């Protein structure tokens, strides 16, 4: 049974060296390894100019959709430090968490990524491009946010959303 699970592709998170996420993505693309690097357009300012750049929403992380037995193909990539896991076992990232990140980035809503889990009511989005997604509704920095928690990374993705877009999920 466990051997069959090792042959089913799942999402895994990998830690990269700081500011090497795009280089790792380029290497994995060239190697034909399915990967996902969530990027957000950000206006960066230097002393002499401003420029729009795409930055990873999770600093030092990249996701790869691979069979468990192929994890070493990613680990041997330059600038990959380790696979994310608990108790010395790699921990898969849920498909719906990856889909949630993709949907959030496509929706063009403001977002913030914070460490740890934020407590709040479980909610479901009723309408809009994110309709049907479930998560938490919280207040953070005097604003209301819809939160998806990425378990394997211990990070929360916060999406700026109006409270009339959500409905409480009964306990």
Give the integer Cα–Cα distance in Å for 91 and 62.
14
pTM of the model: 0.77
What structural domains and CATH numbers belong to the chain?
2-93 (3.30.70.940), 95-168 (2.30.30.30)
pLDDT at position 157: 87
Q: In angstroms, what is the C-alpha Rg of the chain?
A: 17
pLDDT at position 119: 54
**HSE-up (13 A, CA, CB side) for residue 56:** 19
Average pLDDT, the chain: 87
The string over 75-110, giving b where at least 16 C-beta atoms fall within 10 Å of a residue's C-beta and e elsewhere, is: eebebbeebbeeeeebebbeeebbebbebbbeeebe
pLDDT at position 154: 87
Q: Give ∠ CA 143-161-155 in degrees, rounded to 5.
A: 75
pLDDT at position 117: 47
pLDDT at position 151: 81
Nearest CA among 95, 98, 161 for reference residue 128: 161
Give the integer Cα–Cα distance in Å for 64 and 114.
22
pLDDT at position 3: 58
Nearest CA among 18, 59, 79, 67 for reference residue 153: 59
Inter-CA distances, 13 with 25, 33, 81, 107, 109, Å: 12, 13, 11, 23, 24
pLDDT in tens, 63-79: 999 999 999 999 999 99
Give the integer Cα–Cα distance in Å for 121 and 127.
18
Q: Report residues of the chain scoring pLDDT below 50.
A: 1, 117
pLDDT at position 136: 81
């Amino acid at each position: 049974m466990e051997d069959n699970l090792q042959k089913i592709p799942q999402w895994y998170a990998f830690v990269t060296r700081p500011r090497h996420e795009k280089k790792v993505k380029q290497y994995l693309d060239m190697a034909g390894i399915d990967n996902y690097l969530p990027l957000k357009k950000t206006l960066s300012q230097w002393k002499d100019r401003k420029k729009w750049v795409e930055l990873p929403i999770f600093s030092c992380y990249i996701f790869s959709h691979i069979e468990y037995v192929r994890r070493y193909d990613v680990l041997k990539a330059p600038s990959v430090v380790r696979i994310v896991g608990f108790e010395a076992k790699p921990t898969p990232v849920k498909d719906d968490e990856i889909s949630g990140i993709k949907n959030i980035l496509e929706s063009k809503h403001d977002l913030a990524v914070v460490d740890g889990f934020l407590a709040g009511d479980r909610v479901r989005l009723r309408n809009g491009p994110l309709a049907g997604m479930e998560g938490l509704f919280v207040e953070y920095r005097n604003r209301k946010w819809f939160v998806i928690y990425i378990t394997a990374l211990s990070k929360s993705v916060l999406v700026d959303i109006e409270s009339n877009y959500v409905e409480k999920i009964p306990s």
